[in-house]
Amino acid sequence: MSKSCKGLAMELVKCLSESDCVKVENRPYRECAKEKSPSISSECVGLRETYFNCKRGQGKGGIRKHNLYGDVNSHLWMIFHH
């Protein structure tokens, strides 16, 4: 993953961690990443779309979205386990 996409992923993870979807509803990040407002903020929705576009721009146009959510989860694991 390019540094620019990794930075976006980290921002998305941070945004999701502050969302009601994660904090109040105790739902998994992967699930919350798929949500729309009001469960997550419009900022998170924008970061998600920007992140997906970044990933697509790396020549992975055929990749399915659930794999992109997996990337977010792998970044979460790195943040909370290192």
What per-residue string of b and e applies to 63-74 under the rule 16 or more CB within 10 Å gives b?
eeeeebbebbee
Sorting pLDDT into bands at 50, 70 and 90, what band is 18?
very high
Dump pLDDT digits (tens) for 33-63: 888 878 899 999 999 999 989 988 876 544 4
